[in-house]
Amino acid sequence: MKKLILLLVFLAQFAHAQTVSNPANQALDPSFAVKSNGDIVLSWVEKSANGVLFFRKVNQGPAEQVPIDKKASTHAEGMPKLAYKADGTCVLLYEMNRPTAASRFNGDLLYAMEVNGVWQKPQYIHKDTAAGLSHSFGKIISLPNGEVGAYWLDVKVGPKGRTLVTATTSPGQGFGEMKILDRQTCECCRIDALADAQGNVDVIYRDLNDKGERDMGYVHSSDFGQTYTESVPLYED
């Protein structure tokens, strides 16, 4: 009987499935965020004849268009993402591809904040905005202290790979100075991070050693992302 009930619940989810994107556009890059009040926010990208569009849907509410550059990058490893401060401020993080003769992978990371229902002008999350540099593979999460943490791959400072960095917002403000978490990581792999109510933050990414060998790296914070441990392999294998 229990299995039958679970099956009916599972089938009911499909029976009530609905299309939230515009059928005339190509929809991709779905992502979820959670507000401090528990609201679930679905966001996604749509490619239209006029360029990139970005949408969000809070719980069962209507789809809302979120302002974004029509040329924003949409690759799955660096897709646009949302996160919320405890005060309700919505933070959007997205990539802009800036190819140069030296590399077609160069680009910038920008963020915009929605404060009291009004979207502010996008700004760089990194301080170095010179052409020909690469800032990408961004990840943002809500922190239990009410702020938002960001993680991304920045320009390399060592002989190989890229640099894993982080920055956090502050009350009433955007992101502050970035901090280096690992000076040598894989150049092109996504980052994941999660936080709990006790202030613990775990960041997992693909690391790179001096021999060119790649493995999953891990750093931890126990103070809401203010300081982090040295990088260690995620598994001792």
Residue 10 is predicted with a pLDDT of 47
Structure tokens at 49: 């004849």
Per-residue tens of pLDDT for the chain, all 237 residues: 544 564 455 445 545 678 999 999 999 999 999 999 999 999 999 999 999 999 999 999 999 999 999 999 999 988 999 999 999 999 999 999 987 777 787 889 999 999 999 999 999 999 888 877 889 999 999 999 999 999 999 988 878 889 999 999 999 999 999 999 999 999 888 999 999 999 999 999 999 888 888 999 999 999 999 999 999 988 876
Pick the closest to residue 56 from 88, 21, 26, 24 (CA basis): 21
> Cα-flanking dihedrals φ and ψ of residue 98, to 5°?
-125, 70
Q: Which fold has domain 24-233?
A: Neuraminidase (2.120.10)
Q: What is the pLDDT of residue 1?
A: 52
Its sign, for the CA torsion 118, 69, 92, 155, is negative
Number of C-alpha atoms within 13 angstroms, CB side, residue 228?
Answer: 26
Burial class, 69, CB count within 10 angstroms (exposed 0-12 / middle 13-18 / buried 19+): middle
Which tokens hold the place of 80? 């646009």
Confidence at residue 4, expressed as pLDDT on a 0 to 100 scale: 54
Distance between CA atoms of 132 and 42, rounded to whole angstroms?
A: 33
Q: Which residue has the tokens 């268009």?
A: 65
Domain positions in the chain are 24-233
